Amino acid sequence: MALLAAEALHNRAVWGILEAMGNQARQILEAALALPKEERADLATKLLASVKAESPAFDSDVHGDYAPDPEVEKAWAEEITRRAERALRGESKGVPWETVRDEVRATLGRK
């Protein structure tokens, strides 16, 4: 399953963005994508925590005065992983950005 996610990522246009990463970061990402879902979610949670630890403003920008519960953060990381895998397998139909943008603009009364 994890390998399918990595392979699908290689086949998507977004891979071009990831190619801008340094070689070491790209190798780490590819190895991480090969991990089982639970391990990827745990790794993502720990990576995000390390960014927050180095940048206190990051956490306050995202969460204000609220300190997120690590278990809730892990659950969200698992949910995001599940949704991403469904999308990559073609089981979840996405909505093109242009459609979403136009709907938001219409709702807000902008053009």
Residue 104 pLDDT level (bands cut at 50, 70, 90): very high
Query: Would you say the pTM of this structure is higher than 0.75?
Result: no
1 membership: H or E segment, kind and range = none
Compute the distance between CA of residue 12 and CA of residue 32 in angstroms, rounded to an integer: 18
The domain of 89 spans 2-108
pLDDT digits (tens, 9 = 90+) for 58-91: 555 555 666 778 888 888 888 988 888 888 888 8
How far are the Cα atoms of 16, 19, 22, 53 from residue 74, in angstroms, in the given order? 28, 27, 27, 17
Q: How many percent of the chain have pLDDT more than 90?
A: 6
DSSP letter assigned to residue 69 = -
Tokens encoding 21 = 């990463």
Number of domains in the chain: 1
Q: Which residue has the tokens 């278990």?
A: 71
> Would you say 18 and 24 are in contact if contact means Cβ atoms under 8 Å apart?
no
- The 10 Å Cβ neighbour count of residue 25 is 11
